[in-house]
Amino acid sequence: MTTRTDRRALLPLGALAAGFSIAGAALAQQADAPAAKDSEAVMPAVRAKAAGEPKGNDSLRTTTTTIGKGKQALRDIPQSVTVATEKLIEDRNLDTLKETLKTTGGIAFMAAEGGEEDIRLRGFSLQQSGDIFVDGMREPAFYDRDTFNYDRLELLRGSASLLFGRGSTGGAVNQVTKVPQLSDEHEVRVTAGNHDYRRFTGDFNLQTGEESAVRVNTMYTKADNNGSGSRIEKGGVAGAFRTGIGTADEFTVSLFHLNNNNGINYGLPWIRANSTATSATNQPLPGLSPDAYYGMASDYNDGRATLGTLAHVHRFDNTTELRTVVRKGRFARDQRASTVRLGSGVYADNFGPSSVFTRGFQPKIQDLETLQLQSDFSAKFNALGVRHEVITGVDFSREEKNVYNMRNAQQGGVVPAKPNTTAGTPDDGAWVDEGSRVQKPLNSFEAKSWGVYAQDMVHVAPMWKVVGGVRYDRMKGDYTGYALPTNAPAPFTVTNYEQKIGEWSKRVGVLFQPNDLHSYHFSWGTSFNTSGDAYSYSEFSANTPPEQSENLELGAKLDSANGRFTTRLALFRSTKKNERNTDAPNGPLGQQEYLLSAKRHSTGFEIDVTGRLTPKWEVWGSYMWIPEAKVDATANSTSIGNRVGDRPGLTPKHSGSFWTTYQVLPQLRLGAGVNFRSSQAPADLSTNNGGQRFEAPGWATVDLMGEYTFNDKMSLKVNVNNVADKYYADSLYRGHYIPGFGRLVQAQLITKF
């Protein structure tokens, strides 16, 4: 009998067996292949291949991506991909995942109840628990992600379930980490700025042998205020050792750790125009500074993330390889936030320095452990008279999450009283003893998942390629909830829910490539997401099947004649065909379920431009226009939701970013850019108050940069972000919003050796 452990161990072997069978078919066709193709099966000289590896991409433009399972040319992916390179991240001085994503079109943020931002793309959710990846492997945790170990950030737009399994309609975010290279190169960056901002990053790469290298990246950041009210104190280290670089067998072992001891600005309430106005007049609070903070001095958002990874690449030849990765992750989060709300009788027409804010309590305490194994096989070969590029693989994951809450006084807990404050007294220093609170278990969740996929890109004609792929996922989720009486310390009531899911995902695409500079594509793909994406079940959701989505896209990737500039364009339509609705039918407990009764779609156009217009002038831009987004169907909800015909929240018509730099003098480079969003409504507006809708005003912020290079070892860079110190609602929720950063002025000394 095959045990569960045996089956897990067989997963990478399954990919290996699939790989050998495909490789065998390829070898059987070698006699019929042209001589030019035969030469691809010969491994190149290892040292000649590896010696020229660059340490990083010193350009805003890139032509390849790793988000599609293995390294691929962007022109060969029949979906839109936006890549923020290390150069862009450094030029614009972006030190978090959120700020980097804000430079891409189509992105919006929900300020969720737990304090974390729910990322929206094309109007659909990219939940941090389901659609964020590190080097192609899911990173299902909530924490403040830093960019210090980024080689680049890749944003895949549209359905991603073929590649990654369960996921949203909007797309996927892949954080590509830095890896050791065959060179001795080191870089230190020291940054100082307003709000007592201090940051140190070090990137140290050392070649340890002819085919091996080690790389260490470090970071420490501290600030009294990060430009939107809350303090920062975080540190991180990422180390990797890589051996066999460029040879038939390459091994990499890496360890990543990030520790956050940050403050938290949970957000500010919307305000109505006057005492007789409805919620349709909701607007951001008037007259405030972007960095005004009304939470408690004792509020905090602590978190830890640790990842250990072991990877092996076996190259059968220079067109065929098998990559297997094992990763263990541990994450913890302890958030103690204040929910800031208006006192009674406060409206926009009487709001002033004496207006009262109340401060509630919003904890988020959780830990998560993950174990993942992924094995991917890729090969290029001739068969049946045509060229094939195949990727196939299997993956396994186990995720265990525990969530905790606080006991009230009747349950044996301690509830410190939080004092009110006023609009005229930000940063009042009020403090309570958060350590006196008593925790209790709230719920736990365990998910075991596996998936298998295969995709083939067939060169059906000299200018035409057809892509087809299919994936099957199997998931089992177990949820346990713990409840205490509201007025007694015992007993706990324990409830258990279980869900088993098996789901297929598909992708089909056509590529027309008349030459090496132009590529046109059309694609259709599906995606699904489960109730377990949020690690939570209930008597209503445990029996609910996954939501189903599909994406249609027509696009092009166009390179300039000199190959230095790329334009990407796409028309898309994204549809969630059976969205979950919070109305449950009547029936015995255990037989109820959320209805898959809702439907919505978005249709739009997007364009990316990146590269050099001249040798001295470099540009990067990302823009999305969504003229049509609509709720097509919904149940007769009486609590929270959208009405038929509504434009879904967090779907601005216009969004994007533009950045450009110019080499004014041999030693002086100047840069300028803008981020912008048009007006948008929060997600999930309440319909209890007559279905009143409101929108946050659109905004645009301007960034400036100047870099002076003293020599090839040292340079000084100054960034001014949000030059006008504009106050705007960045992340939106139905009850509150989080302001965007105010003006940030930071100078950075860069040393290379």
Q: What is the pLDDT of residue 47?
A: 39
Q: Is the pLDDT of residue 584 over 80?
A: no
CA atoms of 664 and 511, how far apart (whole Å): 40
The burial of 366, by beta-carbon neighbours within 10 Å (0-12 exposed, 13-18 middle, 19 or more buried), is given as buried
Structure tokens at 737: 């919003």
Q: What is the CATH number of the domain that holds 259?
A: 2.40.170.20
Closest CA to 247 of 309, 318, 326: 318
Query: Is residue 699, in this structure, part of any structural domain at all?
Result: yes
Number of compact structural domains in the chain: 1
**Mean of pLDDT values over 228-256:** 96
> Which structural domain range is residue 107 located in?
4-195+215-299+320-358+367-752
Q: Is 56 a residue whose pLDDT tops 80?
A: no
Confirm whether 309 is domain-assigned.
Answer: no
Cβ–Cβ under 8 Å, residues 243 and 713: no
Mean pLDDT taken over the chain: 89
Q: What is the pLDDT of residues 423-441, one digit of tens each?
A: 999 999 999 999 999 999 9
207 falls within a domain: no
Query: Residue 7 contacts by C-beta under 8 Å, 6 or more apart in sequence?
Result: none
Instruction: Tell me, yes or no, whether 206 lies in a domain.
Output: no
* Domain assignment of residue 440, yes or no: yes
Q: Which two tokens stand for residue 637?
A: 């909800």
pLDDT value for 29: 39
Question: So what's the pLDDT on residue 582?
Answer: 59
| CA dist., res. 560 & res. 614, Å (int) | 12
Q: Which of 54, 429, 478 is nearest to 224 (CA)?
A: 429
pLDDT, tens digit (0-9, with 9 covering 90-100), for 369-391: 999 999 999 999 999 999 999 99
Q: What is the mean pLDDT of residues 336-358?
A: 97
Look at residue 701 and tell me whether its pLDDT is greater than 90.
yes
Averaged pLDDT, 494-511? 96
Q: Would you place residue 636 in the very low, low, confident or very high pLDDT band (cuts 50, 70, 90)?
A: low
Task: For residue 314, tell me if it sits in a domain.
Answer: no
pLDDT band at 239 (very low <50, low <70, confident <90, very high): very high
Q: Give 58's strand partners.
A: none
Query: Is residue 638 pLDDT above 60, yes or no?
Result: no
301 pLDDT more than 90: yes
Q: Which of 727, 747, 732, 749 is nearest to 227 (CA)?
A: 727
Mean pLDDT of 243-248: 97
For 442: left if phi > 0, alpha if psi spans -120 to 50, otherwise beta; the answer is alpha
> Could you read off the pLDDT of 204-219 as tens digits, one per residue?
999 999 999 999 999 9
SS3 267: coil
**What tokens were used for 478?**
């177990």
Task: Answer whether residue 567 shows pLDDT above 50.
Answer: yes
Residue 633: pLDDT above 90?
Answer: no
What local confidence, expressed as pLDDT, does residue 36 receive? 37
pTM to 2 decimals? 0.91
- Percent above pLDDT 90 for the chain: 78
Q: Which of 470-484, 489-503, 535-549 is least confident?
A: 535-549
Strand order of the β-sheet with 117-121 is 124-126, 117-121, 107-111, 729-732, 736-739, 268-269
Contacts of residue 59, Cβ cutoff 8 Å, sequence gap at least 6? 85, 87, 611, 618
The answer, yes or no, to whether residue 2 has pLDDT greater than 50, is no
> Which residues in 696-705 are b (16+ Cβ under 10 Å) and which e?
beebebebeb
Quick check: 55 pLDDT over 60? Answer: no
Q: Is residue 209 part of a domain?
A: no
Residue 204, domain member (yes or no): no
Residue 74 has pLDDT above 90, yes or no: yes
